Amino acid sequence: MARAENYGHDRPTEQDAVKALADLIGPQMAEGLWSLSVQALGLRRPVSTSADLRKVAEHVMEVGELSRVAGRSLKVRIITYEALARTVQA
């Protein structure tokens, strides 16, 4: 797992995203929604790049209120991780 060491933040993963979604809508619904979103975007699982995770998060946000919360949370985590990683590399 990639890590911005000086800040203690791990790079968000697909597994993190599906778990967060499952906490809100249940594990079966989360797996189904995530898989359908990945498929709708023409991607393949496991989604591994930050850019693709962000795309799936944005797609999930369009589905409903609870999924919007999980999608936005993931998107914020990705943006934060990327910003911190750039700071660490500089």
| Cα–Cα distance measured from residue 19 to residue 41, given in angstroms and rounded to the nearest whole number | 20
Instruction: Please tell me the total count of domains within the chain.
Output: 1
Q: What's the rounded mean pLDDT across residues 61-76?
A: 93
pLDDT at 4 over 90: no
Residue 13: which domain range? 3-89
Overall pTM > 0.95: no
User: Which string of DSSP letters, residue by residue, matches 48-87?
Assistant: -SHHHHHHHHHHHHTT-HHHHHHHHHHHHHHHHHHHHHHH
Q: What is the pLDDT of residues 16-45, one digit of tens each?
A: 999 999 999 999 999 999 999 999 999 999
| Cα–Cα distance measured from residue 25 to residue 38, given in angstroms and rounded to the nearest whole number | 17
Is residue 67 a contact partner of residue 33, using CB atoms and an 8 Å limit?
yes
